[in-house]
Amino acid sequence: MAWVTLGLSANHWYHARGIVSGYMIGGVLTTFVIFSIEPIRRKFWEFFMKLHWLLICCMLVSCIIHEVGAGILTIGYFALDVICRIYTIKKYSYLSASIEIERVGDSVVKISMHHELFLWHPFSAFSAPHEEQLVFYVKQSGDWTEALFQLAGKQGKPVNVRGYIDGPYGSYSISLDRDKYQHFLCISGGIGITPIFSLVKQLNFQVREGRLVQNIHFIWVGRDKSVIENILDQTQLKQLEVEDNKITLRSYLHFTNSKVSNVIKQKQNQGNIKYILGRPDFSAYFENMHKIAKQNQTNLVAVLVCGPQSLIFEVENHASKNSKDGIRFDIHQEVFEL
C-alpha cells in the first residue's frame, strides 16, 4: 500500500511541483518505504519503531498544510485511541499480574505467571493452553532483552515484578483446530522451541481428550545446553509421554555444539526421545513422514517451523520437494528474529 501511495504521490508532484507540503508528504512516505525494507528494518529495528511516531506527526502536519481534510479526522482518531488506552489501563489495572522472571542458562530468561482469565501475552508462550501457569522464554538478543536479563538477577534466584500483558497477536496460517491434519512435523531452532513445544504439548493433550492424531515428530536443533538443562526438564519431558499408544510421538533433539557432548552422554534416550549430536537430516525426516502419510492413506501433513530464516528456507525446500504423489506438506512458519 505504501508503494501505491508513493506512486500516486509522484504523479501528483509531476502536475503540481510548486506545492512544498506535497513534497513533505512524499518525503515522509519515501522514508516509510525505505525503512520498511526487510534488511534495513531488521538492522535498525529500534530506530524503525521510534521513527514511525515522528513520521506520523510529520505526516499529519503536512496533510493539514496541504489542506487534506482527512488529516484532521486522523488526529481525532489517534486522540480517541489514546483516551481509550488510558481508560483501559485505569479500569483494568487490577488485572495486572505478578510476574516471576529468572535467568536460565547464559542468555535466556524465564518469565512465568499464574494463568488469569483476562491475561494475554505478546511473546510466544512455552506453556500450552490447558496448563495453569503461563511460561515464556526470552533469549537475550538486543537492548530490551538485555535489560530484562539484567533485571532477572542471578540464576536460581527469581525476581518478582508487576507487569501489564497485551494481545493476543497473530494466528496459525494453517487450520489446526479440526481433524484436517493427522500427521505433524514440528520443527524448531534455538529459542524457537517455545511456540513449537507449546503446540506439541497441546496436541498430545488433545489426543488424550479424544482428538484423532496419528503422528507427531518433534525436531529441535540448537547449540545452547540450557535447553536440556533448564527448559526441557523432566517435568516438561513427561508431557511428551504417550497414553495407551493412542499416537506415535517422537522427539529428536539435535545439538550442533560439540562442547555439550558430555551433557548429551548424561542424558539417556528415553523411549520416544532421542538426543543427537549434529545437525538433523531433514531429507530423511520429510521422506519418512511422506512414507507414513502414504501408508495411512492420508494426503496432508502439517509442518510447523520456528527459528532463524536459514532454517525456514531449508524446511520450505524439503516441504516443496516432498509434496508429491498426492501428499502435500502445508507449512506454518515463524521467524524468531527482529
Average pLDDT over residues 85-111: 60
Under 8 Å between Cβ of 185 and 301: yes
What is the mean pLDDT of the segment spanning 308-323?
90
Could you read off the pLDDT of 228-259 as tens digits, one per residue?
A: 667 776 777 777 676 666 667 788 888 777 66
Would you state the pLDDT for residue 286? 92
Q: What torsion do the CA atoms of 278, 281, 286, 287 make, to the nearest 10 degrees?
A: -140
Could you tell me if 332 and 302 are in contact, meaning their C-beta atoms sit under 8 angstroms apart?
yes
pLDDT at 38: 73
pLDDT at 331 over 80: yes
More confident residue, 173 or 326: 326
Predicted confidence at residue 120, as pLDDT, reads 40
Most confident of 5-9, 63-67, 100-104, 196-200: 196-200
Which is more confident, 77 or 314?
Answer: 314
User: Which CATH number does 183-335 carry?
Assistant: 3.40.50.80
Percentage, residues of the chain above pLDDT 90: 7
Average pLDDT of the segment spanning 86-98:
62
Residue type for position 151: L
Strands 248-255 and 108-114: unpaired
Sketch the domain layout of the chain as residue ranges. 2-90, 95-163, 183-335
At residue 49, the pLDDT reads 75
Task: Give the full edge-to-edge strand order of the sheet including 300-307.
Answer: 273-277, 248-255, 215-222, 183-189, 300-307, 328-335
Closest CA to 324 of 287, 296, 295: 287
Q: How confident is the model at residue 266 (pLDDT cuts 50, 70, 90)?
A: low
Q: How far apart are CA 105 and CA 60, in angstroms?
A: 47
Q: 121 falls in which pLDDT band (50, 70, 90)? A: very low
SS3 category, 75: helix
Amino acid at 197: F
Q: How confident is the model at residue 5 (pLDDT cuts 50, 70, 90)?
A: low
Residue labelled with grid coordinates 515463524: 334
Range with the lowest mean pLDDT among 41-50, 200-209, 266-275, 310-319?
266-275
